[in-house]
Amino acid sequence: MPNVVTHNLNVLGSVATSSLTAWRGCLVVQQAVQPEKPILLYDIEACPFCRRVREALTALNLDVEIRPCPKGGRRFRAEAEALGGKQQFPLLVDQNTDTVMYESAAIVDYLFSQYAGRPVPRYYRARSYQPVLGSAASAASGLRGMRARQGRVPEQALELWSFEGSPFSRLVREKLCELEIPYTLHNLGKEHWSEVGPARQRIKPGPYTPIPGGKRDAFFQQHRRVQVPYLEDPNTGQGLFESARILDYLEQQYAV
């Protein structure tokens, strides 16, 4: 297992990141219908502009296939350039509408328009001060998830249940990005105010009951709890809760 002190310090840094970004990417604004073909996002976890897109994806509870493109990465950067013409991130590829887009503000506008039929909510609109706060938020997490590390390539993409504002989930996404491991990001945003708070002590007291018919309900029916991050690796059959366990697993299984 990773060093407990270091891990807890990283968690605190991740909490600071979520705080500096006003905890966007926690609550679902509108449940979008998942499209037939997967949406692809070429992404750098620590990039503040990529973060804005992931916040919007959580607000819409949309799943997306992440192609990590950290600085110094070799697995997906050339592919992204072939699709869009340059190595600039975020890059969104929507196979359902033959859309290839750069620029976070344009992507956020597209996602709300295409998948929610509405303008971008005020809380998610671009502000002049956001680049400064976004950079500070990335610095608070030690710029983890910015640069590539040498690792082994899995045969199949991994699957991660997460939401953008979750400090514990961010630690896992950082590791996946650094190791350039592709994964399906299953957004599992909070669907009601009563779900605010950590999984073991939500604001609403008593047994946890998710909203019937929602994504959290489906997850609850399968696992008897709703807690993120949760990672499944189809290459090994592993299914893991708890960020520290997942980080240790990724390090042992895929880091070189």
List, for residues 233-248, the tens digit of each pLDDT value.
Answer: 999 999 999 999 999 9
Check: CB of residue 40 under 8 Å from CB of residue 67. yes
List, for residues 82-111, the tens digit of each pLDDT value.
Answer: 999 999 999 999 999 999 999 999 999 999
The answer to whether residue 194 is domain-embedded is no
Check: CB of residue 193 under 8 Å from CB of residue 69. no
List, for residues 19-49, the tens digit of each pLDDT value.
Answer: 999 999 999 999 999 999 999 999 999 999 9
- Alpha-carbon gap, residue 134 to 47, rounded angstroms: 8
What single string gives the DSSP state of each residue in 13-72?
Answer: HHHHHHHHTTT-SSB-SS-PPPPSSPEEEEE-TT-HHHHHHHHHHHHTT--EEEEE--BT
> How, if at all, do strands 158-162 and 99-101 pair?
unpaired
Per-residue model confidence (pLDDT) at position 201: 64
Contacts of 187 (CB under 8 A, 6+ apart): 57, 58, 60, 61, 62, 63, 64, 162, 163, 164, 215
pLDDT band at 71 (very low <50, low <70, confident <90, very high): very high
The answer to whether residue 104 is domain-embedded is yes
Q: How buried is residue 121: exposed, middle or buried, by Cβ count under 10 Å (0-12/13-18/19+)?
A: middle
The whole-number average pLDDT for the span 2-17 is 92
Dihedral (CA of 109, 40, 17, 191) sign: positive
Check: CB of residue 162 under 8 Å from CB of residue 173. yes
Q: How many domains does the chain have?
A: 1
Question: Is 2 a residue whose pLDDT tops 60?
Answer: no
Question: Is 151 a residue whose pLDDT tops 70?
Answer: yes
The answer to whether residue 106 is domain-embedded is yes
Domain that holds residue 26: 4-188+228-254
- Alpha-carbon gap, residue 224 to 238, rounded angstroms: 17
Per-residue model confidence (pLDDT) at position 172: 98
CATH of the domain at 16: 3.40.30.10
The answer to whether residue 196 is domain-embedded is no
The answer to whether residue 154 is domain-embedded is yes
pLDDT band at 205 (very low <50, low <70, confident <90, very high): confident
The answer to whether residue 217 is domain-embedded is no
**What's the pTM value of the predicted model, to 2 decimals?**
0.95
The whole-number average pLDDT for the span 50-58 is 98
The answer to whether residue 94 is domain-embedded is yes
Check: CB of residue 163 under 8 Å from CB of residue 25. yes
The whole-number average pLDDT for the span 128-148 is 94
The answer to whether residue 207 is domain-embedded is no
Mean residue pLDDT of the chain comes to 95
Check: CB of residue 90 under 8 Å from CB of residue 107. yes
